[in-house]
A and B are shown apart, each in its own frame.
Chain A
Amino acid sequence: MRVRINGEDLPFVSLMTVAALIAQRKILPETVVVEHNGAILARDKWEATVLKENDTLEILSFVGGG
């Protein structure tokens, strides 16, 4: 299974939820926003959202900017 995460196609061997992915990547959940197939995915939905083939995920956070 392939999932596009932040513009990169990544292979997945097993089913994974968004919450598990965030934890696996050691990302602090409270610092990011997730967009799932173009729609904002509220944090309380991460646990119930299982990544599927060809899903697109954007994981974003604030950085310095003018």
Chain B
Amino acid sequence: MEDPLIIAGYAIKNRFFLGTGKFASYPLMRDAIIASRAHIVTVALRRVDTQSPHDNILEYISKECIIMANTSGARNADEAIRIARIARAAGCGNWIKIEVIPDNKYLLPDNAQTIRATEVLAREGFIVMPYVNPDLADARRLCDAGAASIMPLGAPIGTNKGVCMRELIKILVQEISLPIVVDAGIGRPSHAAEAMELGAAAVLVNTAVATAQNPVLTAQAFSLAVKAGRIAYRAGVVSPKDKAEASSPLTGFLR
């Protein structure tokens, strides 16, 4: 495979990762996964409603996909560790997105607690994908803690604001050798392309796909944008300049 994305030794077939929350139905989610050809999809763990029988989300996700459980609902490292262990016991493998969120208003992650959870879970053999504020010192701590990638937020979860953390993410891309996966806040395919042009290894989107008018087409658009952005990054696209520069030769005019 040309330009493969390797995470924890696994070749990931698509740099577009899809979250499965907020879809109007599981069949719609399944169709969006198929349309995007996402290889990594995230799921959450919740209490079963014991009053009514439930549909099993895993039946709607292709066996080809890597299912990465998140630790949403965790407010500290211990809760994240507990959720990760339960998720693994549920039989979905070792991939875990650590999400420690003590703040309900902006849903911003707690980096210190995330680092602590990463240390413990990496030691237990999990492939740990921590969702964090883009901070260079913390990203280095996560590398030391055994993270498999760093997943900085582009903007707060569900805001669709795009790569607001652009400059900080750029620094992570330059300084951190682990794959940088921009997670959260990506609202449009153009945002996803922008993140990839910056050198992100992948992009994780959920809300913008699940709540679009046509989630299936949107998933496809995101997947294509991620590919285009990646190719642009590899191609070394040009930087903006303040002064105009003619595209046509400035010699040999007819006059």
Contact = CB atoms under 8 A, between A and B. Distances in A.
A25 B54 CA distance: 11
B54 A31 contact: yes
Contacts of A27: 48, 50, 53-54
A28 interface: yes
Contacts of A40: 85-86, 89
Contact of A65 (B26, B43, B53): B43
A16 to B, nearest CB: 13
Interface of A: 5-7, 25-28, 31-33, 35, 40, 42, 58-66
13 contacts: A31-B56, A31-B58, A32-B48, A33-B87, A61-B45, A62-B67, A64-B21, A64-B57, A64-B210, A65-B70, A66-B44, A66-B184, A66-B207
Interface of B: 19-23, 26, 29, 42-48, 50, 53-54, 56-58, 67, 69-70, 72, 85-87, 89-90, 92, 157, 184, 204, 206-207, 210
- 5 smallest A-B Cβ distances: which pairs? A65-B44, A66-B19, A66-B206, A64-B20, A6-B47
